[in-house]
Amino acid sequence: MANNEVLGHDAWSQRNGTAVPFRVRGVRGATTVTSNDADEILEATRELLTMIVRVNEIEIEDIASAYLTTTTDLTATYPAFAARQLGWLDAALLCGHEMQVPDGLPLCIRVLLHWNTTKSAHEIGHIYLREARSLRVDRDNIPPIRPVQMSNMDAAMKILAQNR
C-alpha cells in the first residue's frame, strides 16, 4: 500500500511552492464544567473540539485519534461521545482519567488530538477554555528543575555548561 493510500490523500502537500510532508502533530486543549452532569460534559467537550478544529483548520478525516481525559470527579459520561456527535466516526477515540495532583484543576476535560498535517508544531493552536485557561498561562512559567530532580550526570552537565 502506498503512503498516500494510508493517509487517504497525497502524503505530500504543496505549501508556498514547496513540497511539504504530512506529519502527525499533537493538538492539546482543555475546558471545565460546573458539575458532573452528562449534558454539560458533552456540551463543553463539543465546544472544545469545535474550537480546536476551527482554529487549526482541521479536516475531520485528518484526525488519526483523540485521547480525552477527565478529572476523577467527572463520571457521568464519556467525553468521546461528544466527538461522535460531531461526526468523528472514523477517528480512534479513547477516554481516561487524569492523575490526581494536589491542587489540580477540578471538573476538567482535556484532549490530545493526533492530527495528520503539514503544519509545523509552532503553527498549531492549543485551546484552553473556561477555567482551564489557567493550565497554560505561559510556557515561560515552567518551574526549573530542582537539583534533587536531576541525575548526577545532568547536574554535572549543567555546571559545565554554566562555566563556559
For 23-139, CATH number out of 3.30.70.20, 3.40.1280.10, 1.10.10.10, 3.30.1330.40 equals: 3.30.1330.40
Q: How many CB atoms lie within 10 A of CB 102?
A: 4
Reported pTM: 0.77
Q: Which residues, including other chains, have CB under 8 Å from residue 46's CB and lie 6 or more apart?
A: 82, 85, 86
Per-residue pLDDT band at 3 (split at 50, 70, 90): very low
Q: According to the model, what pLDDT value does residue 52 have?
A: 97
pLDDT by residue (tens digit) across 119-154? 999 999 999 999 999 887 665 556 666 666 667 777
Spatial distance between the Cα atoms of 113 and 93, rounded to a whole number of angstroms = 9
Rg (CA), the chain: 19
**Alpha-helical segments (H) within the chain:** 3-7, 38-56, 80-85, 152-162
pLDDT by residue (tens digit) across 81-115? 999 999 999 999 999 999 999 999 999 999 999 99
